Amino acid sequence: MRCWVSLFAVVLAACTVLSVSWACASGPEEASGAVADAERSLRDAFRVVSDAEAFGANVSGLLDRLNEAGGALTSAGVALAEGNYSGAVGWAGTCRALSEDVSGDADVLKSDAVARAAGWWLTVSFSAVGAGVFVAALFLVWRWFRRTYEGKLLESRPEAVA
């Protein structure tokens, strides 16, 4: 009985070791595809960040993270060139994850910038309307004051005494 348990443990360990190394192994096609996908993802993230910056968002923190993603893409390219296909896939995955995070954050910053711009125009338009109403009210008060003052002035005109 003990022999069977030991034999079963050895077979199970061998299967685990062989399946893990087989599942983690990457070929050149898979690695080059992963690097190409990472490059596309980084390019898309850069476009989204550029759009957010065009709308007035502060993207300096995102540019630092884009640089990190670019470094991961460079490492993936180096690993691919050296024949380290699993390393290339790993670095490409890191690049894609960073790029997708940056894209999501850039979308949020862009929508915030658009909302701020809309709020600014709303503030300017209400201020202009308020200034117009104030000037109109001031003019009406001036006309009323002028008529009242002229009326009192005409009533108090001294008469000539002979």
pLDDT in tens, 67-106: 999 999 999 999 999 999 999 999 999 999 999 999 999 9
In this predicted structure, the answer to whether residue 37 has a pLDDT above a threshold of 90 is: yes
pLDDT score recorded for residue 100: 94
Mean pLDDT of 52-74: 92
Judge residue 158's burial from the number of C-beta atoms within 10 Å of its C-beta, 0-12 exposed, 13-18 middle, 19 or more buried.
exposed
Higher pLDDT, 125 or 12: 125
Q: Which residues, at least 6 apart from 68, have a Cβ–Cβ distance to it below 8 Å?
A: 98
In this predicted structure, the answer to whether residue 7 has a pLDDT above a threshold of 60 is: no
Which of these, 90, 57, 58, 59, lies nearest to 72 by C-alpha position?
90
Alpha-carbon distance of 13 to 100, in angstroms, equals: 38
Judge residue 14's burial from the number of C-beta atoms within 10 Å of its C-beta, 0-12 exposed, 13-18 middle, 19 or more buried.
exposed
Alpha-carbon distance of 31 to 16, in angstroms, equals: 24
pLDDT score recorded for residue 115: 86
pTM of full prediction above 0.75: no
- Can you give the residue ranges of every domain in the chain? 26-155
Least confident window among 31-45, 56-70, 147-161: 147-161
pLDDT, mean over the chain: 82
Alpha-carbon distance of 36 to 93, in angstroms, equals: 11
Could you tell me the fold of the domain covering 26-155?
Butyryl-CoA Dehydrogenase, subunit A; domain 3 (1.20.140)
